[in-house]
């Protein structure tokens, strides 16, 4: 029953004239053009909201939900996960080495990810780098999405607070960027919805008990403790959830599709400071 109501709500959103009006979003050619276009779209939509503010997602655009969130942030539910992550970071591998040997700059790594590896011709995310570090040292890789990897990311994000998003798109990485962009604007699932329809065109509107957050700033605050999950989760876990909402088959966590998608949407937030981990409903 709930699902049926949701579908009706979605079709109402899809029929809104703003969907057609969003055509210019798909026109831009270079990533720099995209960035300008996307930013000006949101800046017009939310006048007075400074760029940094987008790091707070829905709480930047809805006063009522912001108040509750600020109260939660006073005793953040992600704190124990940051502690667990710190212990994991400091625990030596069986060969005596540790994460610090794979990440020479220390745990504050957010500004370095995701990046495009020219030799391997693929996008490297922080999670992938963590697991490749473990495997290179004869350790078992971690399960993606939640659990230990989320705790480790929580600690790394905490240490990275204040760094700025800085994804560079080069001629070599343009294809991966464009694939991510295509993913974002492609309709999928039984409800035939694209990411952009919810997080661009319908931003600020209500779906069930949720208000749709802007695409801008969606990557700054991961991992997230979600009340709905009662747990910490990663960005790709959230992608999975959004695809389930439109009844689309999810992709593999840390597979190429989600990594390209992450590359595209993180670039959109260039210049916005990292403020993870965070809490979301
Ligand atoms: C049917 C509408 C809908 C579609 C389609 C959709 N989402 Fe969402 N998304 C939501 C809702 C609702 C939330 C929770 C409220 C919010 O933060 O926007 C959310 C949250 C998110 C968040 C977390 C925001 C934060 O501040 O933590 C991310 C990231 C996200 N979506 C990405 C995507 C991506 C990528 C796609 C396409 C694969 C997508 N969404 C498709 C409805 C949608």
pLDDT tens for 29-79 read 799 999 999 999 999 999 999 999 999 999 999 988 999 899 999 999 999
Which mutation among 213, 221, 224 tests ligand 1's pocket best, with the greatest number of atoms within 8 A of CB?
A: 213
Query: What percentage of residues in the chain have a pLDDT greater than 70?
Result: 90
pLDDT tens for 245-255 read 999 999 999 99
Rounded CA-CA distance 53/116 in Å is 27
Rounded CA-CA distance 116/106 in Å is 20
pLDDT tens for 198-236 read 999 999 999 988 999 999 999 999 999 999 999 999 999
Which mutation among 198, 216, 234, 239 tests ligand 1's pocket best, with the greatest number of atoms within 8 A of CB?
A: 198
Rounded CA-CA distance 126/115 in Å is 9
Rounded CA-CA distance 281/271 in Å is 25
Query: What percentage of residues in the chain have a pLDDT greater than 90?
Result: 86
* Residue that the structure tokens 């994991």 belong to: 88
Pocket lining for ligand 1, CB < 6 angstroms: 10, 57-58, 193, 195, 197-199, 207, 210, 212-213, 218, 224, 238-239, 242-243, 245-246, 261, 280
pLDDT bracket for residue 16 (50, 70, 90):
very low
Is residue 102 part of the annotated active site? The answer reads no
pTM exceeding 0.85: yes
199 Cα–ligand 1 center, Å: 6
pLDDT bracket for residue 86 (50, 70, 90):
very high
228 Cα–ligand 1 center, Å: 14
Cis peptide before 133 (omega within 30 of 0): no
Closest-lying ligand 1 atom to the alpha carbon of residue 280: 27
- What residues contact 114, with CB distance under 8 A and at least 6 apart? 123, 124, 125, 126, 167, 259, 262, 263, 266
pLDDT bracket for residue 26 (50, 70, 90):
low
Same fold, 9-76+168-280 and 79-160: yes
Pick the CATH number of 79-160 from 1.10.760.10, 1.10.274.10, 1.10.10.10, 3.40.980.10: 1.10.760.10
**pLDDT value, residue 249:** 93
**pLDDT value, residue 29:** 75
195 Cα–ligand 1 center, Å: 7
136 Cα–ligand 1 center, Å: 34
Task: Flag whether pLDDT at 10 surpasses 90.
Answer: no
Widest pairwise Cα distance in the chain: 60
9-76+168-280: what CATH class? mainly alpha
All structural domains of the chain with their residue ranges: 9-76+168-280, 79-160
């Amino acid at each position: 029953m709930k699902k049926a109501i949701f579908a009706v709500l979605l079709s109402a959103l899809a029929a809104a004239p703003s969907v057609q009006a969003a055509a210019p979003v798909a026109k831009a050619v270079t990533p720099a053009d995209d960035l300008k276009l996307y930013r000006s779209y949101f800046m017009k939509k939310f006048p007075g909201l400074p760029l940094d503010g987008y790091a707070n997602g829905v709480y930047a655009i809805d006063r009522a939900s912001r108040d509750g969130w600020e109260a939660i942030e006073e005793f953040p539910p992600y704190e124990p996960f940051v502690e667990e992550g710190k212990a994991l970071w400091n625990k030596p591998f069986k060969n005596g080495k540790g994460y610090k040997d794979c990440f020479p700059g220390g745990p504050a790594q957010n500004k370095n990810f995701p990046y495009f590896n020219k030799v391997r011709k693929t996008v490297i995310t922080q999670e992938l780098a963590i697991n490749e570090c473990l495997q290179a040292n004869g350790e078992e890789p971690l399960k993606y999405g939640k659990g230990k990897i989320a705790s480790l990311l929580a600690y790394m994000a905490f240490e990275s607070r204040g760094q700025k998003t800085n994804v560079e798109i080069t001629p070599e990485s343009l294809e991966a960027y464009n694939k991510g962009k295509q993913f974002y604007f492609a309709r999928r699932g039984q409800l035939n919805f694209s990411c952009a329809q919810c997080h661009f065109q319908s931003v600020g509107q209500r779906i069930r008990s949720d208000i749709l957050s802007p695409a801008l700033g969606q990557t700054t605050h991961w991992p997230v403790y979600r009340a709905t999950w009662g747990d910490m989760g990663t960005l790709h876990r959230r992608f999975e959830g959004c695809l389930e909402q439109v009844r689309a088959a999810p992709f593999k966590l840390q597979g190429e599709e989600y990594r390209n998608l992450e590359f595209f949407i993180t670039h959109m937030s260039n210049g916005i400071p990292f403020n993870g981990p965070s809490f979301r409903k």
